[in-house]
Amino acid sequence: MSRQAISPGKNFFAGGFGGVCLVFAGHPLDTIKVRIQTMPVPGPGESPLYRGTFDCFKQTLAKEGFKGLYKGMAAPIIGVTPMFAVCFFGFGLGKKLQQKTPDDVLTYPQLFAAGMLSGVFTTAIMAPGERIKCLLQIQAAKGEVKYAGPMDCVKQLYKESGIRGIYRGTALTLMRDVPASGMYFMTYEWLKRLLTPEGKSPNELSVPSVLFAGGMAGIFNWAVAIPPDVLKSRFQTAPEGKYPNGFRDVLRELLREEGVASLYKGFTAVMLRAFPANAACFLGFEMAMKFLNWAAPGL
């Protein structure tokens, strides 16, 4: 099976386009996920703020309209082009570093390791983008307007806590993205091989096959990522100083007050979002790569 040479330029544009597709397809359910994960614990005799994913969806539409589902989208949109460029390039680089010859077919553990490398690469962009996104999403849910938008959020965070305030939750982002990215890319490559007809190249997969492989890669990715994502959302949106020992304090509080099930808060919203968002991402990536290979074969 012939392997296509890694092209940073093509990976940048194709990965960025795939990321934009992912955000547009998945942001509404991401908003629901964050609001469910960060809602306050109800007191004795009180009803929870949201009874579940669909109740949160209904309340958001009723109070804020359709635009409410896209709150905080500017930050991930600004971050997705470089982030997915780095993500897909990091995966390609991880594969290349493990190959003895360009035509070597990597094992699944090797593909997992290459995917983990992409998770390390993307954290520098992902951590601040996630912090800003989460703050804007829960601000709208609480009805408070502390931040006028993403740039105002960055300015206020920097003024309050410096660069550390913007990068708060980086360790948890790494804990989420490194193993989850390994699972993400390994699953996609496995399904591509599985769905490729005999004698054909995985690059010639049909649109439905790419959508299925990409969507399932998203499901497997989030199956690994949900517990650290819950901790990250809670930590990044907490008041300064609430968790002095970082994620260990968040974990202790969640387990003490809500039990192990709290680590899977937002599970329904995550899984409803994971398939279409990641199907859109990989389809966007593959279509952009085909276009770039046709338009600029020597790039």
**pLDDT 10s digits, 16-72:** 899 999 988 888 888 888 888 788 888 888 888 888 888 988 998 898 888 888 888
pLDDT for residue 5:
65
**Residue 236's pLDDT band (boundaries 50, 70, 90)?**
confident
CA 283 to CA 29: how far, in whole Å? 19
- Give Cβ neighbours of residue 117 (< 8 Å, ≥ 6 apart): 90, 91, 93, 94
pLDDT for residue 294:
85
> Rounded to two decimals, what is the model's pTM?
0.78
pLDDT for residue 1:
42
pLDDT for residue 2:
47
Helices of type H across the chain = 8-38, 53-64, 74-98, 108-142, 150-161, 163-166, 170-195, 207-237, 247-258, 267-295
Identify the DSSP state of 6: P
Q: Cβ(14)–Cβ(288) under 8 Å? A: yes
Using the predicted structure, report yes or no on whether residue 261 has a pLDDT greater than 90: no
CA 248 to CA 60: how far, in whole Å? 31
Count Cβ neighbours within 10 Å for each residue of 20-30 and write b for 16 or more, e otherwise: bbbbbbbbbbb
- Pick the range with the lowest mean pLDDT from 6-10, 58-62, 90-94, 216-220: 6-10
Mean pLDDT of 150-178: 89
Q: Cβ(187)–Cβ(223) under 8 Å? A: no
Mean pLDDT of 238-247: 81
Q: Looking at per-residue confidence, does 112 or 273 come out higher?
A: 112
Find, among 32, 16, 22, the residue nearest to 221 by Cα.
22
Q: Which residue has the tokens 């970082």?
A: 246
pLDDT for residue 194:
95
